[in-house]
Amino acid sequence: MINRTITDRDGVKRYLITLNVNGDARTVLVKGNAILANVLRDDFNLTGTKKGCELGDCGSCTVLLDGTPVDSCMVLAVDADGHDITTIEGVAVNSKLDDIQQAMINYAGIQCGYCSPGMVLSAKALLTRNPHPTEPEVREAISGNLCRCTGYVHIVEAVLAASQGKLVPGEHEYPREEGGSI
Amino acid sequence: MSKQYSQIGHSAPRIDGPEKATGAAKYTLDLKFPNMLYGKILTSPHAHARIISIDTSEAEALPGVKAVITHKDVPTLKYGLSPARWDENIFCSDKTRFVGDKVAAVACVDEPTCYRALKLIKVEYEVLPAVLNFLTAMDEGQPLVHEEYANNINTEIHQEFGDVAKAFAEAYHVRTDTFIGQRTYQCPIEPHAAVSMWDNGKLTIYSSTQSPHYFQYYIAREFGMEMGDVRIIKTFVGGGFGGKLEPTGLEFAGTVLAKLTSRPVRMFYDRAEMFAHNRGRHAQQMEITTGVDKNGKILVAHANFKMDGGAYTSLGIASAYYAGALLPMTYEFDNFKFDMYRLYTNLPACGAQRGHGAPQPKYAFESHLDNVAKDLGMDPMDIRILNARRPDTVTPNDFKVNSCHMRECLERAREMSGWDEKKKNRVKGRGIGVSTGSFVTGAGYPIYRTDLPHASAFIRLNEDGTAATLYTGAVEIGQGSDTVLCQMAAEAMGYRYEQMKIVAADTETTPLDFGAYASRQTYMSGTAIKLAGEEIRKQIIDMASFMLSLPPEDLDVDNGVIFSKSRPDKTIAFEAVARKHFVLRGPMLGKGVYTPPRLGGSFKGAPVGTSPAYSFGAQVGEVQIDEETGEIKVLGIWDVHDCGKVINPRLLHGQVHGALFMGMGESVWEEVQFDDKGRILNAELANYKMLTAMDMPPIESEVLDSYEPSGPWGAKEVGEGSTNPTLGMFSNAIFDAMGVRVNSLPLTYEKVWRALKEKREAEAKAKADEAKPQAAAEYCQPAAPA
């Protein structure tokens, strides 16, 4: 549903599109080859959407397009016209963290944090469609999000914990004394 | 059992958790400044080529292009790790030495204009024959990568300790094996990025860096500036793993572009450029010979290595020394010989990657040790326990080891994994392997020659005592240093972690710290911070003594409360005391500094590998091999570590998981591959094959109750040491499952399948010709390196 186009003096056509980002209608003029990740980051300053490869490999730029996780570096902005987009900035409501965010913090599912926004959104989409996933289902749901720091161990644990409403790990899991086994 | 503490020894949630979980955390590529330009670097498309001419006129004429620079616009001073091997320039002037070598750069109003401008720069090259195979790089008649380095030798190491010849002569069994390690890349998910800007002769660079201090030093040196006029500010860093320890063209070119345009310039490497910049793990050929007595006690070892350095020294001279230096760590033997050639090739430079220099040699040594055990009819676990290093010992190359639970790590891993049971009840296609590792807790000497301390810190109390800010040059890159250092500060002060704030890794506002490498932050920065916290503690107790009219010796402070040791009802809040101090005596500051003691021997290369403390660990892994396809299914991994006092258990185990994950990738999947022109074939994440969540096997990670007497509260390293055993562990598990050895990394399904096929063919041949002994099929030839 492209509404309007404008052609500049060099003959480059631009499209006027409206994206519903985190509940706000945002209108912007983009070139036909503009990717959604860049529009979110550069036009709307929503830099929580990360770029790690721009090839759809790493998943750092994951956003929800009408609730479905997509690599926003692989989506043309014009194709997102009129659609609902949730970025990481739209996950916490009125500064209250989502359960997944809280579990990711408490279970140390975050290290460098670069994959975390995409990871949270993929997990959020999973728990929305399947509130009580099994471990293999969690692993599958985040398999498009690469993490170089954690070996995914604490991320998987955090997503499962969030699905069970167990947002704070019990001390027994890592005994106060000296680490312990997992 | 060690003492209970209120602030350390607990899994406090990360101090930067909420920012990272909500997308608020700003990484360098997220920064924008008014009037900011965008920069890109033009690189060589040839592995080895003479530059005939560079014509930038068309690029300069393109609207939106604000500056175009080449070697004529930048200092000609070479840079690198050690003065004897400064061999890299900001831009190539005479020739380019790898596909990706820096030739020119542009600054433009936006990124699309940058890419158009790069295409308009006309570089005329004369393509030269390239050196692409490090194993033949020394041969007569090979082209020279650098004319001043004969036979393409970048670094040559020959070390000998004890009486090697005598020990080999006396050995009951001597065996030699040769292994090949592949080139891997750190692959942080965050691309390298820098924003450079000038203000009145002062240069400020926001950078994705592991060491603001080294960046400040190198950049000031390169541009002939005072260090005080260069400010490096670390933003959030999306992983480093060694690849962000030295400045890149982004900082060097950005500095010049920002100066010429008087505007901030933001630059980054895209994923393919990151692979081309590289500085990852060296490919290596590793020949290991050991002599053992009839009980399997190692008497002597000779490591004879060659490594592919790529086109420049980078941090690779340290990697070359580390490769041998850490070999005699987990097992005790007195006689050791280490020969190494680090060779120049026309490939991207190699440098420091997690476990710096140690993981591949460890893979070779541990694989070799299993071969030796098999020759002797010994259980691989038994030969390791027999040779395991003991505490308070000195290695043949003069490294002093204090705490060491190598033997206990092995024994616990044996128990956890059900080793004996699994060895007894064999399942077809299934194998179990063990390996050990060890790593430095911070390097004993700095990267460049200086007498500066290695770490320093100060703590400032807010005037009402409701917050304390830790100022440190320590570098959070994801490993959790900001969190554990705040826990340590709070513990030393008698304060609460929850009230700590931190300002870190900005060369202008935080005191010197060398940064995040060699697993040094918890120990070295932690020692400085402990001293700073103790200065606060002392001042708090002094003031409380005045306020409560009790002698300071009777007072102690913990968890934000000052209390009398003799009269438990007498307490006062930390905040009240801090406020009173400010009113009567002014701001309260605590400071601390750390310099390691003089360490190591006096032979050439003796400083590399020195450390005030060493971690130890053992890993056991169980695999199932599909004989039809060579597919390796990992059934389980058991990791036991001796890493001293644990400051934050959950973050610590996260380090073990991440190190193991990286090691597993290097063991089975990851390899940077080149074509016959020196171009990278898989400079993207899909074909480099990082492991996904679906590829990770179950991991059981455990730490021993350990105390390092020299460390803060007994702490020592964990973050890199856990990568060291992994490659050897996989190699040995696969060997155990198949009965044949794949002698080159990565241990891909294809190589496993080929080894099994060769074994079957050899067995069939042996059966057909029964006159020949069957033992010949036991060891297959090394698979050809890819």
Contact flag B11-A174 (C-beta cutoff 8 Å): yes
What's the confidence (pLDDT) of residue A3?
63
Q: Which residues pair with B458 in a beta bridge?
A: B471, B591
Closest CA to B308 of B334, B283, B332, B326: B283
Question: What residue in A sits closest to B271 (Cα-Cα)?
Answer: A53
| Local structure of residue B525 (DSSP, 8 states) | I
Q: Give the lowest-confidence range in A66-75, A161-170, B95-104, B190-199.
A: A161-170
Residue A182 within any structural domain of the chain: no
Contacts of B682 (CB under 8 A, 6+ apart): B671, B672, B673, B688, B689
Q: Is the per-residue pLDDT at A181 higher than 60? A: no
Residues A68 and A108 in one domain: no
Domain extent at residue A166 = 99-173
Contact flag A113-B692 (C-beta cutoff 8 Å): no
Domain boundary among A90, A117, A143: A90
| Answer CATH for B283-441+612-757 from 3.30.565.10, 3.30.365.10, 3.40.50.2300, 3.40.50.620 | 3.30.365.10
Q: Is the per-residue pLDDT at B366 higher than 80? A: yes
Q: How far is B722 from chain A (nearest CA, A)?
A: 12
Torsion angle of the four alpha carbons B249, B255, B259, B263, in this order, in degrees rounded to the nearest 10: 100
Question: What residue in A sits closest to B15 (Cα-Cα)?
Answer: A105
What's the confidence (pLDDT) of residue B770?
80
What's the confidence (pLDDT) of residue B82?
79
What's the confidence (pLDDT) of residue A94?
87
- Residues of A within 8 A of B654 (CB-CB) are 108, 111, 149-150, 153-154
Residue A78 within any structural domain of the chain: yes
Closest CA to B535 of B573, B495, B592: B592
CA angle B583, B487, B467 (to 5 degrees): 25
Q: What is the mean pLDDT of residues B257-275?
A: 98
How many beta carbons lie within 10 A of that of residue B499, not counting itself? Answer: 17
Domain boundary among A90, A119, A151: A90
Contact flag B21-A101 (C-beta cutoff 8 Å): yes
- Residues of B within 8 A of A148 (CB-CB) are 186-189, 239, 241, 658, 662, 690
With pLDDT > 90 as the criterion, what percentage of chain B qualifies? 96
Model pLDDT for residues B607-621, shown as the tens digit of each residue: 999 999 999 999 999
Q: What is the mean pLDDT of residues A163-177?
A: 72
Q: Is the per-residue pLDDT at B644 higher than 50? A: yes
Say how many CB pairs under 8 Å bridge A and B: 212
Model pLDDT for residues B159-198, shown as the tens digit of each residue: 999 999 999 999 999 999 999 999 999 999 999 999 999 9
CATH number of the domain enclosing A27: 3.10.20.30
CATH code of the domain made up of B17-24+449-594: 3.30.365.10
Q: Is the per-residue pLDDT at B782 higher than 50? A: no
Residues A106 and A132 in one domain: yes
Q: Is the per-residue pLDDT at B2 higher than 70? A: no
Higher pLDDT residue, A95 or B484? B484
**ipTM of the shown complex:** 0.95
Q: How far is A77 from chain B (nearest CA, A)?
A: 16
Q: Is the per-residue pLDDT at B478 higher than 80? A: yes
Higher pLDDT residue, A8 or B778? A8
How many beta carbons lie within 10 A of that of residue B698, not counting itself? Answer: 12
Q: Is the per-residue pLDDT at A90 higher than 50? A: yes
CATH number of the domain enclosing A124: 1.10.150.120
Residues A108 and A86 in one domain: no
Answer yes or no: are the C-beta atoms of B326 and B254 closer than 8 Å.
no
Question: What residue in B sits closest to A116 (Cα-Cα)?
Answer: B21
Q: Which residues pair with B236 in a beta bridge?
A: B27
What's the confidence (pLDDT) of residue B4?
87
Which residue from A57, A87, A136 is facing B684, i.e. has the nearest CB?
A57
Contact flag A112-B239 (C-beta cutoff 8 Å): yes
Q: Is the per-residue pLDDT at A138 higher than 80? A: yes
Contact flag A148-B662 (C-beta cutoff 8 Å): yes
Integer-rounded Cα radius of gyration of chain A = 18
| Probe site for chain A from B2, B29, B189, B648 (most A CB atoms < 10 A) | B189
Residues A8 and A78 in one domain: yes
Residues A10 and A81 in one domain: yes
Cα–Cα distance, B405 to B615 (Å, whole number):
9
Q: Write the class of the CATH domain B31-128+190-238+244-277.
A: alpha beta
Q: What is the mean pLDDT of residues B69-83?
A: 93
- List where CATH 3.30.365.10 sits in chain B: 17-24+449-594, 283-441+612-757
Which residue from A50, A112, A120 is facing B21, i.e. has the nearest CB?
A120
Contact flag A149-B239 (C-beta cutoff 8 Å): yes
Residues A86 and A126 in one domain: no
Q: How far is A18 from chain B (nearest CA, A)?
A: 23
What's the confidence (pLDDT) of residue B131?
98
Q: How far is A179 from chain B (nearest CA, A)?
A: 5
Contact flag B693-A152 (C-beta cutoff 8 Å): yes
The residue behind tokens 């057909």 is: B768
Q: Is the per-residue pLDDT at B276 higher than 90? A: yes
Answer yes or no: are the C-beta atoms of A1 and A82 closer than 8 Å.
yes
Q: What is the DSSP string of B630-659?
A: --EEEEEEEEEEE-BS-S-HHHHHHHHHHH
What's the confidence (pLDDT) of residue A179?
36
- List where CATH 3.90.1170.50 sits in chain B: 31-128+190-238+244-277
Please give the helix or strand (H or E) that residue A5 lies within, else none: strand A4-7
Contact flag B189-A114 (C-beta cutoff 8 Å): yes
Domain boundary among A38, A64, A90: A90
Residue A180 within any structural domain of the chain: no
Contact flag B661-A150 (C-beta cutoff 8 Å): yes
Answer yes or no: are the C-beta atoms of B280 and B243 closer than 8 Å.
yes
Q: Is the per-residue pLDDT at B785 higher than 60? A: no
Q: What is the mean pLDDT of residues B778-784?
A: 46
Residues A109 and A162 in one domain: yes
Question: What residue in A sits closest to B705 (Cα-Cα)?
Answer: A178
Q: Is the per-residue pLDDT at B777 higher than 90? A: no
Contact flag A181-B662 (C-beta cutoff 8 Å): no
Q: Mean pLDDT over all residues of chain B?
A: 96
Number of independent structural domains in chain A = 2
Q: Is the per-residue pLDDT at B784 higher than 80? A: no
Instruction: Assign B3 a pLDDT band (cuts: 50, 70, 90).
Output: confident
